[in-house]
Amino acid sequence: MNATSLKETHFHFPGEIDVYKGKVRDVHSLNDERIVIVASDRISAFDHILPKGIPYKGQVLNQIAEHFLKATSDIVPNWLLACPDPNVSVGIKCDAIRVEMVIRGYLAGHSAREYKAGKRMLCGVPLPEGMKENDRFPEPIITPATKEEEGHDMDISREEIIERNIVPQELYEQLEAYTRALFQRGTEMAEKQGLILVDTKYEFGLHDGKVYLIDEIHTPDSSRYFYLDTYQELQEKGLPQKQLSKEFVREWLIEHGFQGLEGQQMPEMPDSFVQEVSERYIELYEQITGKSFEKTDNSKISERIQHRMEAYLNETSLQNH
């Protein structure tokens, strides 16, 4: 494989005051209220980072997020200022609102598991009787989750958010309106690509008292997509839906005896599988955006990013002063 992947990152950018390394992304805070987010080629499943990086994965996720942030900026202002490198986004540092806005158009994933367990109320939202997995809801439902510092995010109801004053009522209603409008736009854009946007999550933040959309949106890591042309037939036959997500990586790990449980050994990923995952991510990009993917020269990926970011930050800080 000629393309190298960006797995370990040791960047230090001009004006940097802090860095946070997540499972996939590194967030560098600058001294001028901007943040630099580097999308690495790390891949995680079952809360574990896999041993090998996936060439072009960071570029795919970064450019899908850029595509949708630009396509929705008329609905709600967002944090993104520029993408000086295919793996990097620079934006406005916002104070994250501690609620994740999850919106679901279909009974899939977590909601399907809860429904199967007999629950007919999810985050304070009643669920209709007689549904089967992957059926469409009469209208999309919002099932928020709390953003936890440690551990898993927790389901929470609208009423509880307002009652506990996690978010004031007026602000929460604004987030709901933005969430519905973004999901509607995402649904229309997916349909043009022969896809169904099943469910997704949005995160918001505040900057100078104004709400901004933050993080990534409508990427296969934060959203579930089905294929439109086979949806109806598969539902009628009671068969699983064909999905556009990183589910295939989880399936490979399960086949090789790994689900992140104690005592389980992470399987060694052969280069052929790494190559396949890389190709699938590129396919995801093209399917979701309708654009053809242009591979950036990844032979010296760390040097490329450092060089481009220094040039960009030096130039933009001159403009600011």
Of 46 and 80, the one with more pLDDT: 80
CATH for 296: 3.30.200.20
Structural domain of residue 307, as residue ranges?
16-95+279-320
Q: DSSP letters of 206-217? A: EETTEEEEES--
- Listed in sequence order, the residues at least 6 apart from 133 whose beta carbon sits closer than 8 Å to its beta carbon are 107, 108, 112, 115, 116
- Whole-angstrom distance, CA of residue 68 vs CA of residue 219: 9
The tokens for 24 are 């996939």
Specify if 165 maps to a domain: yes
Distance of CA 12 to the CA centre of its chain: 25
- Listed in sequence order, the residues at least 6 apart from 135 whose beta carbon sits closer than 8 Å to its beta carbon are 106, 107, 235
Residue 43 predicted with pLDDT over 80: yes
Specify if 9 maps to a domain: no
Does residue 144 sit in the same domain as residue 172? yes
Specify if 11 maps to a domain: no
DSSP E strand stretches across the chain: 16-21, 25-30, 34-39, 44-45, 48-49, 80-85, 88-92, 95-96, 99-106, 121-122, 125-126, 136-142, 145-146, 154-155, 195-207, 210-214, 223-227
Q: What is the mean pLDDT of residues 153-167?
A: 92
Match 């990097």 to its residue by tokens: 88
The tokens for 174 are 């604004």
* Domains of the chain: total: 2
Report CA Rg, the chain. Answer: 20
Query: Which pLDDT value is given to residue 316?
Result: 85
The tokens for 166 are 């996690």
Does residue 71 sit in the same domain as residue 101? no
Does residue 217 sit in the same domain as residue 192? yes
Of 319 and 129, the one with more pLDDT: 129
Q: What is the mean pLDDT of residues 48-74?
A: 94
Of 107 and 247, the one with more pLDDT: 107
- Of 184, 206, 236, at which residue does a domain stop? 236
Instruction: State pLDDT tens for residues 181-233.
Output: 999 999 999 999 999 999 999 999 999 999 999 999 999 888 999 999 999 99
Specify if 140 maps to a domain: yes
Distance of CA 144 to the CA centre of its chain: 16
Match 């934006």 to its residue by tokens: 91
Does residue 169 sit in the same domain as residue 202? yes
Instruction: State pLDDT tens for residues 240-253.
Output: 998 887 778 888 99
Does residue 223 sit in the same domain as residue 126? yes
Specify if 274 maps to a domain: no
Does residue 149 sit in the same domain as residue 213? yes
Does residue 102 sit in the same domain as residue 228? yes
Q: Are 165 and 99 in contact (CB under 8 A)?
A: no
Distance of CA 201 to the CA centre of its chain: 8
Q: Are 169 and 162 in contact (CB under 8 A)?
A: yes
